[in-house]
Amino acid sequence: MLLAPAARSWSAQPAEGATPAGQHAGAFASAAVAADHHLASEAGAEILRAGGNAVDAAVATSFALSVVRPYSCGIGGGGFMVIHLKDHPRHGTLTTALNYREQAPAGVSPDFYLALEPDAATHGGRGVAVPGTVAGLLHALEEFGSGMSRDAVLAPAIRLAEEGFTVDAHYAASAAEVIAWIRKDEPARSARFAFVWDRFLARGAIKPGDVIRLPEQAAALRLIAQRGRDGFYRGPVADAIVEAAAADGGVLTLADLASFRVARVDPLTLEFRGKTIHTMPPPSSGGLALAQTLAILDARLPDLRATPPRSPQAIHRVTEAAKHAFADRARWLGDPAFVDVPVARLLSPDYLRGLAATLLPDAVLPHERYGSIPAGEEGHAEPHRDGGTSHFSVVDAQGNAVACTETINLVFGSLRAAERFGFVLNNQMDDFATRPGLPNAFGLVQSARNAPAPGKRPLSSMTPLIALDPADHGRVVLVAGASGGPRIISSTLQAALNVLVHDMPAGDALAAPRFHHQWTPDVLLLEAGLADADGLVPALEAAGHRTRRSDAIGNVQIIRAARDGAGLDAACDPRKGGRPAGY
Ligand code: GLY
């Protein structure tokens, strides 16, 4: 069995219940934002109250998250946004998606990492891919916003950066893992990652209640407000990014930054139990995995609603369906701008019916029987960790919606920062298959289709989704997504099943304990609420599952149409501590 490269060993998730009971959900008459930090939800709600639409609010929320969740996402990272517009003045009624996932610098090749130290893609300058968040947000604002100015949507984030925010339990727990890793090689690591060490980790002393101010990031945000895309991709911010990467061996150049492009794509669309779900196509694996899993469950389990969602039967069935999807993820997926990704074949009803037919009611299959196998592409992996990333959901009073998931990859990304501008640079290069056959930091083994190449985007698990009800004038019934590496797929899927099949209120849908299996390694992770449930583990083990108790599986933010049909029911994952806002 091959082991993961030596990397930070974070499972940075505090115990369940980070948000005081009852505060993680809220009912709103007209409009809501659910982000994984209440100040970011408030930033979006402020824009909604000022007359902005869901896209304006999403842009404000994302820039605010860059300040208050600096270890999860931000202007040094990238993301995906699924947008549903209702009667937009220019676009009418439309569902579309933006891909602003980071791109590999021109200086990398498929074998770039082979001769480097094993953690070259996870720590430091060589892990940094070209950030896409600023380009993506500005594209969204200009193309799909209501006409609000950059000044207006950036104002809340600039204010937060200047006034500061208070470190919460999730921040402190995430920081503790990084502090432990840095302390293993002092003073080399604290010197190499000085900005993160000094400003985000308080030289190892950071604790809940501390206040972090980021006037440097406020300066970057002001430049973006003044100059738009050029305020980030050219000039002093671009210089600071290149310097931070290059001083630590990175190959990112000013030309890479200047040539970053946002791709507008058709969402991946599926029908499930009478609802139309729009989600992200490759280079996200999340939408495809979600679509495959739901289709297998639909084909095989018309009685899903009658099966209690935390019963051994339900967990077994969902796990077995998801293992097929994760096996196909490992073998087939990559950036479709560079490699052939057989999306149509992987989603064809015949293929999925064939996979569904393999499901056994009370036993697992041999490992190789999941998904379908191109010759010669196989591997194994060891433990997977949870990482950074942040998801938020927005619905406005006009019925527009945004599902947005963004990331700098692992907690505090590459640990390198654009110091003069106070933001962390991603380590998204580790989401490529940087060393054939070896797992990345999430324990994911991936095929040569996901090898690095200039301009290519690494495969992702991010799964933003918007579900509409065609029987009710296309009304938005669910906006969802998650953070947590490959656990994103499992946690988004389970939250969606909790709402769309079991009709749970939003707060209950997120508080319910979760499980995760990513096919490789062959282990079924169970949150405490399942691992401790009477008789559950023996029942699953009897069916052939190797179970393991797990820390938090994903952090999900959802907004659903209220069950009585009036208004919105929003919730933020109690595992991370967010609170929704709106009116
Ligand atoms: N960096 C995590 C993901 O995109 O899946």
Q: What are phi and psi of 159, to 5 degrees?
A: -60, -45
Q: In terms of domains, do 446 and 572 share one?
A: no
Atom of ligand 1 nearest to the CA of 488: 5
Is 29 inside a domain boundary? no
CATH code of residue 521: 3.60.20.40
* pLDDT value at 383 more than 50: no
Token pair of 311 as six digits: 């019963």
> Which listed residue (95, 389, 407, 520) is catalytic?
389
Nearest ligand 1 atom to the CA of 409 is 1
529-580 pLDDT tens trace: 999 999 999 999 999 999 999 999 999 999 999 988 889 999 999 999 999 9
- Give the dihedral of Cα atoms 428, 433, 435, 441; nearest 10 deg: 50
Question: Does position 91 have pLDDT exceeding 80, yes or no?
Answer: yes
Judge if 208 and 283 occupy the same domain: no
Is residue 6 one of the residues assigned to a domain?
no
Is residue 438 located within the same domain as residue 469? no
269 is catalytic: no
- Are 234 and 207 part of one and the same domain? yes
Q: Is residue 1 part of a domain?
A: no
For the stretch 561-571, pLDDT in tens is 998 888 999 99
Query: What is the tens place of the pLDDT at every residue in 273-319?
Result: 999 999 999 999 999 999 999 999 998 877 788 888 999 999 999 99
278, 215: one domain: no
* DSSP state letters, 517-533: --SSS--EEEEHHHHTS
Task: Note whether 193 and 98 are same-domain residues.
Answer: yes
| For ligand 1, mutation pick of 385, 460, 491 (most atoms within 8 Å of CB) | 460
Residue with tokens 């896409």: 132
Question: Which among 80, 425, 430, 431 is the best mutation to test ligand 1's pocket, defined by most ligand atoms within 8 Å of the CB?
Answer: 431
pLDDT(414) > 90:
yes
- Tell whether 368 is covered by a domain: yes
Residue 76 main-chain phi, psi, to 5 deg = -90, 10
Q: Are 407 and 483 in contact (CB under 8 A)?
A: yes
Gap between the Cα atoms of 305 and 114, Å rounded:
48
SS3 199: helix
Query: From the CA atom positions of the chain, what is the Rg in Å?
Result: 22
Given the CA of residue 458, which atom of ligand 1 is nearest to it?
Answer: 4
Cα torsion at 20, 24, 27, 33 (round to 10°)?
140
pLDDT at 389: 96
| Residue 2, pLDDT above cutoff 60 | no
Strands 275-279, 465-469: pairing kind: antiparallel
Are 95 and 146 part of one and the same domain? yes
Residues pairing with 390 in the sheet: 406
Q: Which two tokens stand for residue 227?
A: 């100059």
Is 18 part of any domain? no
Q: How far is the CA of 383 from the centre of ligand 1 (A)?
A: 16
pLDDT of residue 21: 55
Considering the domain architecture, whether residues 178 and 272 belong to the same structural domain is answered as no
Half-sphere exposure of 258 (CA within 13 A, CB side): 7
Of 21, 59, 37, whose CA–CA distance to 166 is shortest?
37
| 146 pLDDT above the threshold of 60 | yes
Q: Is the domain of 468 the same as that of 552?
A: yes
Q: 551 and 513 in one domain?
A: yes
Mean pLDDT score of the chain, rounded to an integer?
93
Could you give phi then psi for residue 414, rounded to 5 degrees?
-75, -10
The residues that bridge with 97 in the sheet, in sequence order, are 82, 265
The answer, as to whether pTM is greater than 0.85, is: yes
In a domain, residue 234? The reply is yes
At residue 388, does pLDDT exceed 80? no
**Measured in angstroms, how far is the CA atom of residue 431 from the centroid of ligand 1?**
7
Express each pLDDT in 153-211 by its tens digit: 999 999 999 999 999 999 999 999 999 999 999 999 999 999 999 999 999 999 999 99
pLDDT at 373: 65
Q: Are 478 and 401 spatial neighbours (Cβ–Cβ below 8 Å)?
A: no
**Spatial distance between the Cα atoms of 326 and 487, rounded to a whole number of angstroms:** 11
Whole-number Å distance, alpha carbon 125 to ligand 1 midpoint, is 18
Distance from the CA of 473 to the center of ligand 1, in angstroms? 34
- Pair (367, 416) in one structural domain: no
Separation of alpha carbons 313 and 322, rounded Å: 14
Residue 378 has pLDDT above 60, yes or no: no
Q: What is the pLDDT of residue 9?
A: 34
Query: In terms of domains, do 361 and 396 share one?
Result: no
Share of the chain above pLDDT 90, in %: 87
| Each residue's pLDDT tens digit, 6-46 | 343 333 344 344 555 568 999 999 999 999 999 999 999 99
Q: Which atom of ligand 1 is nearest to the CA of 442?
A: 2
Classify residue 419 by its DSSP letter: G
| CA-wise closest residue to 167 among 78, 74, 39, 61 | 39
Residue located nearest, by CA, to atom 3 of ligand 1: 460
Count of domains for the chain = 2
Ligand 1 neighbours (beta carbon < 6 A): 389, 407, 409, 431, 460-462, 485
Q: What is the dihedral of CA 534, 535, 537, 540, to 10 degrees?
A: -140
pLDDT at 332: 92
> 259-297 b/e with 16+ CB inside 10 Å = b?
ebebbebebbebebeebbbbbbbbbbbbbbbbbbbbbbb
Report yes or no on 468 lying in a domain: yes
Which of 128, 442, 463 to probe ligand 1 with, by most ligand atoms within 8 A of CB?
A: 442
- The minimum-distance atom of ligand 1 relative to the CA of 101 is 4
**What separation in Å is there between the alpha carbon of 481 and the centre of ligand 1?**
12
Phi, psi for residue 97 in degrees, rounded to 5: -145, 145
Is residue 7 domain-resident?
Answer: no
Per-residue pLDDT at 374: 59
Q: Give me the pLDDT at residue 440, please.
A: 82
**Rounded CA gap, 530 and 553, in Å?**
12
pLDDT in tens, 448-496: 899 999 999 999 999 999 999 999 999 999 999 999 999 999 999 999 9
Q: Are 514 and 553 in contact (CB under 8 A)?
A: yes
Whole-number Å distance, alpha carbon 565 to ligand 1 midpoint, is 34
Residue 575, domain extent: 267-384+463-582
